Amino acid sequence: MAELLRSLQDSQLVARFQRRCGLFPAPDEGPRENGAGPAEGATGTPGAGNLPAVTRKGGGEPASGLQRAAAPQVHTQKYIVKNYFYYYLFRFSALLGQEVFFITFLPFTHWNIDPYLSRRLIIIWVLVMYVGQMAKDILKWPRPLSPPVVKLEKRVIAEYGMPSTHAMAATAISFSLLISTKDRYEYPFALGLAVAVVFSTLVCLSRLYTGMHTVLDVVGGVLMTALLIAFTYPAWTLIDCLDSASPLFPVCVVIVPFFLCYNYPVSDYYSPTRADTTTILAAGAGVTLGFWINHFFQLVSEPTSSLPVIQNIPPLTKGMFVLCLSKFIVGIVLILLVRQLVQNLSLQVLYSWFKVVARNKEARRRLEIEVPYKFVTYTSVGICATTFVPMLHRFLGLL
């Protein structure tokens, strides 16, 4: 078993996949310069911008056992693209696994499709992402080595690799959506299953193509998600009812996630993992709190508790498309305004409280500042998305 794990964690396996898909490192031509992108001699130059890579101190493989983490050193790296179909396919698939996609997709589901589905998807997404992010900083397994792997992303290089939270999120959202809709809407189940498999597979393969994860990271993420869905599925109906269980429910919704964020596992060096985890938990807390507000104060009508089967899903017409787009734009604009306002106010209060110079951007990384300001900001965003945006839609006649 240990030999199998080592083989799946081998960076050469990722490099071979990249080469088969037409992605090669450019020959070393001396010192690298900032802004290096795809090398000359490829069939063209994609608009990829600065796409740096990473090496570990020492640059070699560990002497024995599975790879252990070391602080990454970031440098720019030239590369050659020989197959632009795979390049754009997997770059786009990688975007579908980003948090920003799900943070956009989930409100869209709430505003334009079904609040029942969005509630379930958000709860599962938050649970899966928290487990995955926490596992990274507990296991502390590094990302693939470069060389031989070509790295196409920069922001998450400082994070550890195991498990792939992109793979976890894509698998959780696609299959939770499939499970939640099979008894609510009438559609060919085989088609829905195929879409879920294709979506999650593309995101998983994109993590190998971009050089961000080993095969073991991706497989581990998928398996962890499958186990979490299997273990929590019997309680999904109960979880749906928790937001109306008690007037004290909002206290638990706020205190428990904040405690988990503040006691997040300490990393050997700073990475955006804790900040991203706080954002996800806070957004989940805000959304859950927003659903409780809607139910407790009867502000926004909710669908009935039964799960009706819709015999004929209405086709997408031009009028429906314009309506959905209008609701989405109105909602996103309001959310961005709330996010900016609350973030600025919370940072000013925390800077003043801890006597920190506002121009010191490094201060945002301090535990006592980063966790509270992100938690307050994205809890407000979650409440806004589920309560105030639907109220604004009703006021504007968009419902």
pLDDT in tens, 200-244: 999 999 999 988 888 999 999 999 999 999 998 888 877 767 666
Q: Which of 39-53, 186-200, 234-248, 283-297 has the lowest mean pLDDT?
A: 39-53
Mean pLDDT, rounded, of the chain:
78
Q: Which residues contact 293 (CB under 8 A, 6 or more apart)?
A: 299, 383, 386, 387
pLDDT at 64 over 60: no
* Least confident interval from 30-34, 103-107, 386-390, 391-395: 30-34
Contacts (Cβ under 8 Å, ≥6 apart) of 379: 254, 282, 283, 285, 286, 289
Interval 100-108 mean pLDDT: 78
- pTM recorded for the entire structure: 0.78
User: Given a cut of 60, is residue 331 above it in pLDDT?
Assistant: yes
Q: What percent of the chain has pLDDT over 90?
A: 17
**Number of domains into which the chain is organized:** 1
166 counts as catalytic: yes
Sign of CA dihedral 117, 119, 124, 126: positive
Domain membership of residue 37 (yes or no) is yes
d(CA 100, CA 283): 12
Domain that holds residue 17: 2-56+72-84
Q: Specify the pLDDT at position 358.
A: 67
Mean pLDDT of 309-331: 76
The string over 214-244, giving b where at least 16 C-beta atoms fall within 10 Å of a residue's C-beta and e elsewhere, is bbbbbbbbbebbeebbeebeeeeeeebebbe
pLDDT higher at 266 or 384: 384
- pLDDT of 49 > 70? The answer is no
Task: Indicate whether 79 belongs to any domain.
Answer: yes
Question: Would residue 212 count as lying in a domain?
Answer: no
Instruction: Note the pLDDT of residue 244.
Output: 60
> Is 78 inside any structural domain?
yes
**Residue 379 has what pLDDT?**
92
> Per-residue pLDDT for 303 more than 70?
no
Answer whether residue 241 is part of any domain. no
Percentage of the chain modeled with pLDDT above 70: 78
pLDDT value of position 243: 61
Of residues 322 and 237, which shows the higher confidence score? 322
Residue 298: the pLDDT is 67
Give me the pLDDT at residue 311, please.
Answer: 45
Confidence grade of residue 287 (pLDDT, cut at 50, 70, 90):
confident
At residue 56, does pLDDT exceed 50?
A: no
Q: Considering 110, 166, 295, 393, which one is annotated as catalytic?
A: 166
75 in active site: no
CA of residue 105 relative to chain centroid, distance:
11
75, 213, 295, 393: the catalytic one is: 213
Calculate mean pLDDT across residues 152-161. Answer: 75
Residue 323 included in any domain = no
Query: Is 39 among the domain residues?
Result: yes
For residue 73, what pLDDT is reported? 52
Is the model's pLDDT at 168 over the cut of 80?
A: yes
Is there a contact between 225 and 218 (Cβ–Cβ < 8 Å)? Answer: no
Higher per-residue confidence, 134 vs 74: 134
User: Is pLDDT at 120 greater than 90 in this prediction?
Assistant: no
Q: Is the pLDDT of residue 300 over 70?
A: no
What pLDDT is stored for residue 104 in this prediction? 80
The answer to whether position 34 is within a domain reads yes
More confident residue, 104 or 360: 104
For residues 30-53, give the mean pLDDT: 40
Q: Is 90 exceeded by the pLDDT of residue 197?
A: yes
